[in-house]
Amino acid sequence: MNWTTVLGLVAGMLTTLMVLPQLQKTWKTKEVEDISLVTFVSVAVGVTLWAIYGVFKQDIALIITNAVSLLLNLIMIGLKLRYRNN
């Protein structure tokens, strides 16, 4: 693995993991009034496109980090939809 792949993985994981505090807070409090569904859907679409781009470029860092990011954003979207009437 070369240094640019490592750099891509580290950068991707840092930006991917930034959603974890929001996920944790939402999971615990079940409060989603201040969560923007449009934002999380937009991010999910964006990271999906980045992952597809990564497949075409055969870039493992783009594929892995954006796949994980997509999963976390889909969980957040699910929580927003599940708890929106609380």
- Read off the CATH number of the domain in which 50 is found: 1.20.1280.290
Query: For every one of its 86 residues, what pLDDT tens digit does the chain have, with 9 covering 90 and above?
Result: 789 888 988 998 899 899 999 999 999 999 999 999 999 999 999 999 999 999 999 998 899 999 999 999 999 999 999 999 87
Give φ, ψ of 33 to 5 degrees: -55, -40
Range of the domain at 50: 3-25+34-83
Whole-model pTM: value is 0.89
Q: How many domains, the chain? A: 1
Q: Are 12 and 66 in contact (CB under 8 A)?
A: yes
